[in-house]
Chain A
Amino acid sequence: MSAFEPGGQASIASVTDRVRPLAIGTPVSSIHFLGERAAFVGAEESVALVDAEGEISRVTVHGGGILCTASDGSRLVMGGDDGKVVALDAKGEVTPLALDAKRRWIDNVALHPDGAVAWSAGKTAFVRSSKGGGKGEDKTFDMPSTVGGLAFAPKGLRVAAAHYSGVTLWFPNMTAQPEFLEWAGSHLGVTFSPDNKFLVTAMHEPALHGWRLADSRHMRMSGYPGRVKSMSWSAGGKFLATSGADAVILWPFASKDGPMGKEPAMLAPLSARVSAVACHPKQEILAAGYGDGTILMVRLEDGAEILVRRNGSAAVAALAWNAKGTLLAFAAEDGEAGLLPL
């Protein structure tokens, strides 16, 4: 399938006419909802805050490239190549959180549901607890190599840092030695399953690697033609949807063995590679963006598709749902963006 030709459109439901186009103008690297405002994070310097009516206000957050973002729905935390960690709220207020002493790049940030913030620069991971405290009270830990990804476990104050040859699980408030989950290769992204039972990394090579946390059993999830850069847990955490192939790859995590020994489902195959995925926060639906600019909404149960955006433009860079699941925001690499109210 190379294009949605007029003739072919009859076969797929379309909501393209309901999309509110937005001209963000600059490349977008991620989108997060802060309440009802969508924060389109630029590749450098600024964030465009967009309300449901499509009104855009721009906020300067960094003095250079914005390298990483994390959000809990009310606060957006970012790290930049200016060595700063900053937070942005829905009102557009920017709060500086930290400045790396050596002005190293802040490569990763993570946010805990209780408000704790983690970030990393080079090999060093930092955690600031929700109880505030100043710079002096930040906990730090040096990982064996540069941190490729950071994530908080959904329960307890536990940080997973992905790096070369595995993941370090660190309890910043405990003196115990961190736990090390080993797997050869470079691990770049990391995510806990919402039930806290599994840990999954996206590797430099086109594969995911997973561990069952109870017994550190390995789960190899390979077969991708390209590197996985976007991962999203379905509502309820039964599935992990990923980019990296010419279809959305959906790994089953409902059983106690996770995807061990199981095949993933492949939804919404197109002749372009999936570049971004975002699962709906309440229903078993996901949005998938492709390298050719296409965006589809896909029902997990049967793979039924609805067209949100036609192909024929820059790759989809980011997708996000608001917390209620009534708004889908998207942006392409060239800054063309849109909001879809449902």
Chain B
Amino acid sequence: MAEPSSQKIPVTVLTGYLGAGKTTLLNRILSENHGKKYAVIVNEFGEIGIDNDLIIGADEEVFEMNNGCVCCTVRGDLVRILDGLMKRKGKFDAIIVETTGLADPAPVAQTFFVDEDVQKNARLDAVVTVADAKWLSDRLKDAPEAKNQIAFADVIVLNKTDLVSKPELFEVEARIRGINPYAKLHRTERCKVALSDVLERGAFDLDRILDIEPDFLEAGDEHDHDRDHHHDGHDHHHGHSHGGLKHYHDEEMQSLSLRSDKPLDATKFMPWLQNLVASEGQKILRSKGILAFSDDDDRYVFQGVHMMLEGDHQRKWKDGEPRESRLIFIGRELPEQMIRDGFESCITS
């Protein structure tokens, strides 16, 4: 779109399973003295204790796009509400969309990929998931929605850490990392987190897809991390431990990272990626990549949600910067070998 992204209103999606503390975080955001005004789209009125005339009740109405693709669902109510909110442009700085505890974040994100008007006026900033340190491990076993929300997240606020012991905390963090090692994770009590850690993240900004290294809990760094361990994706074993940090491999939801220091053949890679998301897009929740193509001095960046992809030349590779391609996929029952083989076949020999 022609409009520079900085002029678009940032939209933060706030998810989290029932009782994790979404409303607490929302109230914190609204009550803190930051001089900013937020429009808030909530699924239930009345839970927010702050007086704000820009709180809008939504019905979470999801509809399928008429393009024959079953996972191309968008939030129709969001399209309508964002359109209405734009009439009051200038009265608020950012928008927060709170989803119900059982919601899948994908239709919200996809709304920003498919709707022309939404794209013109607003940009998806990040998906922030609030998780309950005490109950998340259980929910990951019995609630597919909770797992989806963790897998989809750019930022995870691991809340109620005061209600669990250290070993329990490590356990739940390891479970989160087994699903999504890329999200920024913050440990909180009563959702006490710096607002700059949850807002204005630019997680869907193609220019900022630099950060596709796993997150290693820089905050509250109490144990040794074996950084190399993550680099090859998830070839670790079930529940074993390295220097106190457990590693879990979630049977259902995983992440997969690919890298190559040899350039990729764009004529092979692009069709491969498009075919991959077309055929496996229901399984792939999020994808991101920084790519080095042969005969191309530009870095190419892309990101996707299910079957929807967007990508662009980002900038020139810098002198001395290793021209390395890196991709990550987060998804359900990812066909790992097929993806690895497909990727290998796009590397120039």
Contacts and interface: CB of A to CB of B under 8 A. Distances in A.
Interface string B288-328: 00000000000000000000000000000000000000000
Contacts of A226: 116
Contact of A64 (B53, B61, B81, B86): B53
Contacts, number: 69
B87 A67 contact: yes
B238 interface: no
B86 to A, nearest CB: 8
A184 B69 CA distance: 13
Contacts of B61: 145-146, 164
Contacts of A212: none
Interface stretch (B72-80, B178-186, B223-231, B272-280): B72-80
B84 A67 contact: yes
Interface residues of B, number: 26
Nearest to B53: A64
A310 interface: no
B56 A105 contact: yes
Given A105-B56, A146-B80, A148-B80, A184 B87 contact: no
A186 B84 CA distance: 17
A44 B87 contact: yes
Given A102-B45, A105-B56, A146-B76, A205 B65 contact: yes
Contact of A43 (B67, B79, B87): B87
Contact of A146 (B67, B74, B77): B77
Interface string A178-219: 000000111000000000000000011101000000000000
Interface string A23-46: 000010100000000000001100
A123 interface: yes
A101 B318 CA distance: 60
B76 A227 contact: no
Interface in A147-190: 148, 164-165, 184-186
B88 A186 contact: no
Contacts of A204: 63, 74, 76, 79, 115
Main DSSP-derived SS at the A contact region: loop
Nearest to B81: A105
A185 B57 CA distance: 22
A104 interface: yes
Contacts of A145: 59, 61, 63, 76
A122 interface: yes
B64 A184 contact: yes
A185 B62 CA distance: 10
A250 B85 CA distance: 31
A43 B88 contact: yes
A148 B63 CA distance: 13
The listed residue with most A CB atoms (<10 A of its CB), out of B67, B85, B88, B115, is B88
Contacts of A186: 63, 76, 79
Contacts of A102: 45, 57
B117 interface: yes
A102 B57 CA distance: 10
A64 B89 CA distance: 11
B80 A65 contact: no
A123 B63 contact: no
A65 B117 CA distance: 17
A30 B162 CA distance: 54
Nearest to B115: A204
A66 B87 contact: yes
The listed residue with most A CB atoms (<10 A of its CB), out of B74, B80, B116, is B80
Contacts of B84: 65, 67, 81, 105, 107
A43 B87 CA distance: 5
A27 B116 CA distance: 20
Interface of B: 45, 53, 56-57, 59, 61, 63-67, 74, 76-77, 79-81, 84-89, 115-117
24 contacts: A27-B87, A29-B87, A43-B89, A44-B87, A65-B84, A65-B87, A81-B56, A81-B84, A102-B45, A102-B57, A104-B57, A105-B56, A123-B59, A145-B76, A146-B59, A146-B77, A146-B80, A165-B63, A203-B66, A204-B63, A204-B76, A205-B67, A226-B116, A227-B117
The 4 closest A-B pairs by CB, nearest first: A65-B87, A43-B87, A185-B66, A186-B76
Given A29-B87, A205-B65, 9 more contacts: A27-B87, A44-B87, A67-B87, A81-B87, A123-B59, A145-B76, A164-B63, A185-B66, A186-B79
